Structures are given as structure tokens and as C-alpha cells.
Amino acid sequence: MKPTILLTGKSGQLGSELDRLLPKLGEVIAPDRKDLDLREPEKIRQIMRDVKPQLLVNAAAYTAVDTAETDQANALAINAEGPRLLALEAKKLGAMLVHFSTDYVFDGSKKAPYVETDPPNPLNAYGRTKLAGEQAIRDSGAAHLIFRTSWVYATHGRNFLLTILRLATEREELKIVGDQVGAPTCASDLAAATTGMLVDIFTSAKSQFTLPEASGTYHMTATGQTTWYEFANAILAEARRASQDLPWLASATKGRPLIARRVLPISTEEFRLPTRRPAYSVLSNARLMQTFGVTLPDWRTQLQNCFSSKRIPANPPSVVSSCE
């Protein structure tokens, strides 16, 4: 069966990669925010009735972690209420909903990778709204896959990779948080793994994980773990090795040389961000492997792959870092 797929968030880091890959599986209808704003319940109901998708992939989200603290109504509408309505409409149509959530549902007090059954305890508004979205989807009764991921970056959009590259053209010394541990995950690897699983689910007659049996919450991040400090060092090492005329790299640095000579680790406290973040948010991907046979590459390999990507940036890089 070739499903009709409704994709939200196609301008985002993950959404744009899914928009590129999902046509392998079916016909993709991907309205932008002006045609489907997740804060508008009637628009959600209308588009679901018009498109009647068999598969709904929600890559839209409110991802500005710091801004969410003072803009909780919008964050809640986009991260929880919109997904709740998508799920209820999906249930009515018998469609399946794929949704993405975050490592920030956890408080970071654990010392070993979090598993799906660990109790969530978000430290910030973004994490609370994302957790509320997960719960609403689980409660809806719709067939669903919720993939919790972490520290997402891409060669386009707003992210740590592009922020570090820009700062490295402006400053000789960078001070980067060295006491938060997580798994940087490249949006293209996330999209490729998601699309691969969906192709198996929708096209394999022998699929062992036909829904709704496989409905549930899964962790899906790069393998391995690091700190923001180590990640910044790895980014700069790759950037120095890479060909400077890579289109996305040239766009990220605006063609200027990297002048950063020193990267210093600092504590979360010294960095003085307004919002609390988990000190440790590594997620165990064992359940994803056991159920779907899927593992994402190690974070270093994902980063190296980025630096060999010759793709022209979809959106010009932004200077603001959002969700990590």
C-alpha cells in the first residue's frame, strides 16, 4: 500500500529531511505553517478531513527552549494541544501518527542511559510541553510511534553546529559548556532511519511489527555520548579538514576563515542560561534495536557524514541556536 502522508514542519531541520525522503514511501502533502498552524484546531481538523492521510508525520514543534519559559501558552499549543488533535483525528481516520519528542523530558539525575520506562521529570517548560504532547498521543488510542531524540543538528536551520562555525569565524576563544552529556543527532540520519522503518511497516507483508502492536515510545539518537565542549572541538576539527567550498560550510562561515584557536570548557553555571537543562540525557536505543532492528551511527560518524555532504543548504543558516 502506498500511503498518503501528511507531513508537518517541512521547513525545520528534521522536517526538511523527511520531506526529501518520504516520497520513497508514498505521496507527501506537506503544508507549511501558514497553511497548517498547529495552534489552530479547526485548520487541523479541516486538513485531516481533506487529505485523509494514512500516515501523519509530525515534525513541527516549538523548539526554542529558552523562549518557551516565557511563552508557555504557545509552546503548549504547538507541542501538546496540536499533537493531541492530530492524534484524535488520526484515530478517527485509522491513520498512524509518527511524532518526535525529546531527551529533555528527563531531569538528568541518572548516571546510565535512560530507557523508555524511566519516569520523566522535565526541568523546563519546553520539556513539560513535549511530555504533555507525548501523553496526549498515548491517551488518544491512535496507532503511533513517538521517537524521543536529542541534540538535533543539520547543515541548515538553527543549531549548535552552525552556531559554533559562525562563532569560530568571529572569536579566537570559545567557551563551551563541558558538564552536560548527551548524544548529538544529525537530522538526516534521524529522517533516514524513520523513513526506513516506515517503508518496512507499510510495504512488508511479512513485517513482524505491523501496527498497532509496535505502537509506542522509542528512543532514537546517535550512538555514543559526548559533551557540548567535546562536540564543539569535533566540529572545528572536521571543519578544518573539510573542503572550505562545501556549499553548506561556505554558507555557514560566510566564506570567512576559522580564527578560533582555543576552546575552553566551562560549567553550566558559568554559562548562565536562563533555563535549566538536564546534566545527563543520554538515551538507550535498545528498544528501537530490539523492535525494529534499527541503530543510528555513532555521533562522530554522523558529524563526519555532514562534512562530506555536498548538498546546497535548504534554508540559509540562522545565527540563533534553538533547541539542542
In the chain, what is the straight-line distance between the N-terminal and C-terminal CA atoms, in Å?
36
Measured from the CB atom, the residue of 191 and 263 that comes closer to ligand NAP is 191
Q: Kindly list the catalytic residues.
A: 126
At its nearest, how many Å lie between ligand NAP and the CB of residue 233?
19
Measured from the CB atom, the residue of 15 and 120 that comes closer to ligand NAP is 15
At its nearest, how many Å lie between ligand NAP and the CB of residue 108?
14
Residue 264 cell numbers, joined: 575552553
Measured from the CB atom, the residue of 11 and 223 that comes closer to ligand NAP is 11
Task: Note the residues at the interface with ligand NAP (CB under 6 A).
Answer: 8-9, 11-15, 33, 36-39, 59-63, 78, 100, 102, 130, 149-152, 157, 187, 322-324
CA distance 303 to 226: 12
3-state secondary structure of 294: coil
At its nearest, how many Å lie between ligand NAP and the CB of residue 269?
22
Measured from the CB atom, the residue of 178 and 317 that comes closer to ligand NAP is 317
At its nearest, how many Å lie between ligand NAP and the CB of residue 257?
28
Annotate 138-167 with b (16+ C-beta within 10 A) or e (fewer). eebebbbbbbbbbbbbbbbbbbbbbbbbbb
Instruction: Give strand ranges (E) for 52-208.
Output: 55-58, 96-102, 143-149, 152-153, 173-177, 181-182, 185-186
- 8 Å CB contact between 86 and 97: yes
Strand pairing report for 27-29 and 96-102: unpaired
